[in-house]
Amino acid sequence: MKAAVLEAYGQPLNVTDVDLHDPQAHEVKVAIRATGVCHSDLSIQQGKLPLPTPCVLGHEAAGEVIEVGDGVTNVKVGDRVVCMWTPMCGNCYMCRRGQTHLCEGVRAMGLMDDGTSRLSLNGQLVYHGINAATFAEEGIYRDYAVVKIGDDIPFEIAAVVGCGVLTGVGAAINTAKVRPAESVAVVGCGGVGINVIQGARLVGANPIIAIDTMQSKLDMAERFGATHLVDASNKDAVTEVMGLTGGRGADAAFEVVGNPVLQRKVFDMTRRGGRAVFVGAAALTDEVTLPSLILALGEKNVLGCYYGSCDPKRDIPLFLDLWKAGKLDLEGLISQTLKLDDVNGAFEDMEAGKVIRTVLTP
Ligand SMILES: [Zn+2]
Ligand SMILES: [Zn+2]
């Protein structure tokens, strides 16, 4: 089976033949039909998000179930599914409290529940990237890590929901719980940022202020529902947001880059009593400093956001229904469709800011 392997940080992915073992009990084998290239994959390739190597990258995907292990009851061969990179065991402290995105049933990163991998190369262990390893023709997933979708949903559309849409739209509607007519500011209008914007549009936020240093990304933000654009390469984002919100600051402001300097700016552009939401994944060693007095007296709420606080089993079908109803733009997220062999070119296009999402069709 062909897969894109990261052998060491900083190196291009090696698209090569990898051995995929049989699914064990409560595991399913999925033929990957479409997989989005997310910024987190690039961050791992660059060593900013350190995960064990060698690994197969890729973590937002849709495909077709081609084999099931013993005890699998939620899907059968032939079903279309979205593959998840977070476990949702349904039984742990977090899952029982409705916070499945924080599930404690986490196995060792990149391995299956029994602590072994289903991937190997020349007899050597290969890790499952961000628990998903979707830059591949096939993958093995725990049964609770696949969500069945309708047969009428195109694989490319279903693939992009699995990470960027859940995270971005979820950040707006689940984490920040944005309400109609609230003011929203979004710093960073990449693949996740524009989904924060369309989540805010979906619930009727106004104004929706998009902030980025690249004009191409601001143009995209406007297409997805931004009402005001701020080019931060020549304007101070905090001053601009203040000016657009009566000098008060935004009801909800989002940092979608993963940069402590920008996190501080997002804190500053949030109104008293508002929500500053940190969505972007910074480097492991990064730290952010916030003004203690203003944090307390301004009663500002700083919210971390992981996976858009989504329950994928609830939110994936919900978001796909919204797409069918014309209320979520998913086609517009897909800038290009390439083959698995082109994965390194997809990384280059992402770094150059040329694309929102490249979808690979293994
Ligand atoms: Zn992702
Ligand atoms: Zn759990």
Residue 260 in contact with residue 288, Cβ under 8 Å?
A: yes
122 and 190 part of one domain: no
Q: 268, 286, 304: which is the final residue of a domain?
A: 304
pLDDT at 135: 98
Question: Of the bound ligands, which one is closest to the alpha carbon of residue 129?
Answer: 1
Distance, CA 95 to ligand 2 centroid (Å)?
4
Indicate if the alpha-carbon torsion angle 24, 30, 32, 34 is positive or negative. Answer: negative
The domain that holds 219 is classified in CATH as 3.40.50.720
Question: Of the bound ligands, which one is closest to the alpha carbon of residue 35?
Answer: 1
How far, in Å, CA of 298 to CA of 218, rounded? 30
Q: For 217-243, how does the pLDDT look when each residue is reduced to its tens digit (9 = 90+)? A: 999 999 999 999 999 999 999 999 999
Give the position of tokens 């499952």.
Answer: 128
Q: Report the number of secondary-structure helices (H) and strands (E) in the chain.
A: 11, 19
Q: Which strands, in side-by-side order, build the sheet including 14-17?
A: 14-17, 2-6, 55-56
pLDDT at 269: 98
Q: For 60-81, how does the pLDDT look when each residue is reduced to its tens digit (9 = 90+)? A: 999 999 999 999 999 999 999 9
CA dist 66 → 83, 100, 132, 141 (Å): 13, 26, 16, 12
108 and 187 part of one domain: no
Does 220 fall in a domain? yes
H/E run at residue 55? strand 55-56
Give the position of tokens 């009990």.
Answer: 25
Distance, CA 163 to ligand 1 centroid (Å)?
5
Q: Beta strand 124-126 with 119-121: parallel, antiparallel or unpaired?
A: antiparallel
Distance, CA 164 to ligand 2 centroid (Å)?
22
Distance, CA 301 to ligand 2 centroid (Å)?
26
83 and 186 part of one domain: no
Does 184 fall in a domain? yes
**Concatenated DSSP letters of 282-295:** --TT------HHHH
347 and 299 part of one domain: no
362 residues of the chain, pLDDT tens digit each: 999 999 999 999 999 999 999 999 999 999 999 999 998 899 999 998 888 999 999 999 999 999 999 999 999 999 999 999 887 888 999 999 999 999 987 667 899 888 899 999 999 999 999 889 999 999 999 999 999 999 999 999 999 998 999 999 999 999 999 999 999 999 999 999 999 999 999 999 999 999 999 999 999 999 999 999 999 999 999 999 999 999 999 999 999 999 999 999 999 999 999 999 999 988 888 999 999 999 999 999 999 999 999 999 999 999 999 999 999 999 999 999 999 999 999 999 998 888 889 999 99
How far, in Å, CA of 204 to CA of 209, rounded? 13
The angle, 0 to 180 degrees and rounded to 10, between the axes of the packed helices 215-223 and 193-202 is: 30
Distance, CA 295 to ligand 1 centroid (Å)?
30
Distance, CA 126 to ligand 2 centroid (Å)?
25
Q: 257, 272, 304: which is the final residue of a domain?
A: 304
> Which residues on neighbouring strands pair with residue 2, listed in sequence order?
17
Distance, CA 167 to ligand 1 centroid (Å)?
8
Question: Of the bound ligands, which one is closest to the alpha carbon of residue 49?
Answer: 1
Distance, CA 112 to ligand 2 centroid (Å)?
15
Rg (CA), the chain: 20
pLDDT at 231: 98
Helix, strand or coil for residue 339? coil
Question: Of the bound ligands, which one is closest to the alpha carbon of residue 85?
Answer: 1
> Which residues on neighbouring strands pair with residue 228, listed in sequence order?
209
Question: Of the bound ligands, which one is closest to the alpha carbon of residue 61?
Answer: 1
How far, in Å, CA of 58 to CA of 263, rounded? 27
26 and 142 part of one domain: yes
235 and 337 part of one domain: no
Distance, CA 102 to ligand 2 centroid (Å)?
7
Does 172 fall in a domain? no
Question: What residues have a C-beta under 5 A from ligand 1, the ion?
Answer: 38, 40, 163
Does 168 fall in a domain? no
Distance, CA 59 to ligand 1 centroid (Å)?
6
Domain that holds residue 141: 2-163+309-360
pLDDT at 128: 95
The domain that holds 356 is classified in CATH as 3.90.180.10
Nearest to 46 by CA among 10, 8, 21: 10
Distance, CA 238 to ligand 1 centroid (Å)?
28
183 and 204 part of one domain: yes
Cα angle 68, 71, 74 (rounded to 5 degrees) comes to: 70
152 and 10 part of one domain: yes
pLDDT at 88: 85
Q: 267, 289, 304: which is the final residue of a domain?
A: 304
Question: Of the bound ligands, which one is closest to the alpha carbon of residue 134?
Answer: 1
Residue 331 in contact with residue 177, Cβ under 8 Å?
A: no
Prediction pTM value: 0.92
pLDDT at 107: 66
288 and 354 part of one domain: no
Distance, CA 116 to ligand 1 centroid (Å)?
23
Does 169 fall in a domain? no
249 and 158 part of one domain: no
Q: Which two tokens stand for residue 16?
A: 């090569």
Average pLDDT, whole number, for the chain? Answer: 95
Does 8 fall in a domain? yes
Does 154 fall in a domain? yes
Task: Look at the chain and report how many structural domains it folds into.
Answer: 2
Question: Of the bound ligands, which one is closest to the alpha carbon of residue 44?
Answer: 1
237 and 263 part of one domain: yes
135 and 201 part of one domain: no
How far, in Å, CA of 81 to CA of 158, rounded? 8
Non-local (6+) Cβ contacts of 190 within 8 A are: 39, 217, 256, 257, 353, 356
Distance, CA 261 to ligand 2 centroid (Å)?
34
Non-local (6+) Cβ contacts of 327 within 8 A are: 202
Does 171 fall in a domain? no
> Which residues on neighbouring strands pair with residue 278, listed in sequence order?
255, 304
CB atoms near residue 250 (< 10 Å): 26
